[in-house]
Every structure is written in C-alpha cells, then in structure tokens.
Amino acid sequence: MEFLKEEKDYADVVREAEEVVELLLKALIMAFGLEVPKVHDVSKFIEANKEVFPQVIRDNLFRIKEISRKLRKERELAFYGLEDWIPSEEYTLKEAEQAIDWAKEIQSIVKKALDMG
C-alpha cells in the first residue's frame, strides 16, 4: 500500500486496504475454527459469533464493523469507478492514508486477538 501511495495510485491503495482488512478478518475467523463466509465484509459474521473470539474483538467490534463496511463500500468504486467518476482521478492522498491507517488498525486488533487465542 505504501508503494502504491508513493506512486500516487490512491484508488489502488484503497482497494488494497480493503483486501488487507478482508483477509485479516477472514484469517481471524479461520484461526478460531469457524468456516469463512464467502463475502467481502465479514464483520456481521464476526458479530454474530462474537462469543467465539477474545475480548479484544468484542471490545473493538464497533470499529471492526465500521472500517470493514466503509472499505467494502469503496471496493467496487475503487476498482471500476462510474461513468462520471474515474478512480485514478478521484481518490486523494488523504483517502489513501486513511485506508492505510484503517488496515493497520485492523491488523493490530487481529494480532492482539491471535496472540490471546
């Protein structure tokens, strides 16, 4: 993501951040013995099974859901854009940095949960 940011490819930073968050959350689900749902935003699944996960996940569930949902919404837009909205021209450095920060935040939460589990 940092490389893409340096290349000013902000749409791809957002897309990659969504993929990182998705994969981190799916790894968390797998690590606690659950079958991974075949959707991009697994935060509702985590919420529905919250008793399986360590307290750090329950404590951060609102934030997990918020970040996962926001990035999921941006995923297709960052990939495909719209007729009058070209991702490579629309995403900004600020949005790219926010996406990176979100991915790092989820990584930290998941790492704590895995260290506890």
CB-based contacts of 41, cutoff 8 Å, min separation 6: 22, 68, 69, 72
Output the pLDDT for position 77.
85
Task: Name the token pair of 17.
Answer: 């951040």
pLDDT in tens, the chain (117 residues): 999 999 999 999 999 999 999 999 999 999 999 999 999 999 999 999 999 999 999 999 999 999 999 999 998 888 888 888 898 889 999 999 999 999 999 999 999 999 987
DSSP labels for 50-81?
A: GGGS-HHHHHTHHHHHHHHHHHHHHHHHHHH-
Q: Which fold has domain 2-116?
A: Four Helix Bundle (Hemerythrin (Met), subunit A) (1.20.120)
Domain parsing of the chain, residue ranges: 2-116
Q: Which of 99, 73, 77 is nearest to 86 (CA)?
A: 77
Predicted local confidence at residue 87, as pLDDT:
87
Q: Alpha helix locations (H) across the chain?
A: 2-6, 10-31, 43-48, 55-59, 61-80, 87-90, 93-116
Distance CA 105, CA 87 (A): 24
Residue 79 confidence (pLDDT): 82
Q: Please name every residue paired with 85 in a beta bridge, in sequence order, or none if there are none.
A: 82
Q: Say what the pTM is.
A: 0.93
